[in-house]
Amino acid sequence: MFQRATWEQRVKSPEEINLIARKGTVEDLAECCALHRSLGLPYTKRSWRILPEMWRTLLSKGAMQLCLVANRTRLVGSRTVSFSAVLFVTDDFCSEARVKLPPYLDVELARQYLSGELPVLNHEQVARANAGAGLNVIVCFEGWAHDGLSPEQVLAVRAKQGEALRLGLSGYRVKEFLAYPLGEEALQWMLNAGARIRHHYSNYFRNSTVFPSVFSQQACLVGLTKKEAFAYPGSSVAGLFIYTPPRFLFSRSQRVLLLHALSGETCETLAASLSVSRWTVKKRWHAIYERVADVDSELLPPSIAYGAHATSRGSERRRHLLNYLRQHLEEIRP
């Protein structure tokens, strides 16, 4: 009994956090929406209602990446302590954001979604841009739960959120990065990370009584281009522009299978998720291994066609490949 009480006290202690940065999914939208709503941003009632639908649509189209930090020591309630969304947007929207759009890009994007004019790229457009000149990314729709955390823990959460952002953009050819940090602390974090001020909204808030906010005093749009990042390397934001071309050139169906496998799905669950037979799943794995062996014969252990170790060797090959892909996400990007 004493050992159990001590363990529970240790888990509930404010000094105990166990953070993990990961890519968010549709299952995380409810927690993220609650965190975003708590910021009190000036959405209309209609915009608030459509946010979950909007995010779900953007995720399904490949136009958005959800980057989040979870605290695994939380036993009840939401484990998400920080998140942000990354949207792939058009050149025109970036130009307008730098020059004439009002503050709160989140609110502006929701308004444009309602009007049917959302300036984001679909999966095919992302693929073409990623194979060509590159992508414009905007960081928005953020949220956090820092209540009860010490300054050191808040720092740890911010560092993990930066890691989640790098994970979400790894393997994409980024040409411009824009963000609208909320609050002086977030702005300073972005500037220290290497971002540059693109637009200051002080005149907007000075001359307008519309949408007052606690975030208005230090309202700035920040960003960085690939050219600037390479001219002044070393910052964490500059690292988002590092791009390595894929070596294996997997087909789309192969990339989809590998993406699901990276989330921990087995052959059985892969078949259900992809709506194919287990035989088709095994056939795709075989084709993937053959492609990898043609390009890099040393990456995977040799196969064993027959014998008692055939199954275990297949699991070992999968483990080697997935470990490699976690460090080379360009192989599974569109």
Give pLDDT tens digits for 69-81.
999 988 767 889 9
| R_g of the chain, CA atoms, integer Å | 22
pLDDT digits (tens, 9 = 90+) for 302-331: 765 444 455 547 788 999 999 999 999 999
Q: How many angstroms separate the Cα of 56 from the Cα of each of 48, 143, 230?
A: 14, 17, 34
User: For residue 26, what are its two tokens?
Assistant: 């549709």
Tokens 């070596």 correspond to 247
Q: How many angstroms separate the Cα of 175 from the Cα of each of 22, 231, 236, 244?
A: 23, 14, 15, 14
Query: What is the pLDDT, as a whole number, of residue 10?
Result: 43
Residue 215 pLDDT grade (very low, low, confident, very high; cuts 50, 70, 90): low
- Asked if the model's pLDDT at residue 217 lies above 60, the reply is no
Cα 325 to chain centroid distance, Å, stands at 16
Question: Where are the domains positioned within the chain?
Answer: 2-241, 252-332
Least confident interval from 61-70, 82-91, 265-274: 265-274
User: For residue 148, what are its two tokens?
Assistant: 């009860």
Who contacts 290 (Cβ-Cβ below 8 Å, separation ≥6)? Answer: none
Q: Which residue has the higher pLDDT, 301 or 91?
A: 91
Least confident interval from 210-219, 224-233, 238-247: 210-219
CATH topology of domain 2-241: Aminopeptidase (3.40.630)
Instruction: Please tell me the total number of residues recorded for the chain in this structure.
Output: 334
pLDDT digits (tens, 9 = 90+) for 284-308: 999 999 999 999 999 998 765 444 4
Query: What is the pLDDT, as a whole number, of residue 306?
Result: 46
Spell out a b/e string for 72-94, using b for 16 or more CB atoms within 10 Å of the CB, else e: eebeeeebbbbbbbbbbbeeebb
Q: What is the H or E stretch that residue 111 is in?
A: helix 105-114
The pTM for the full model equals 0.84
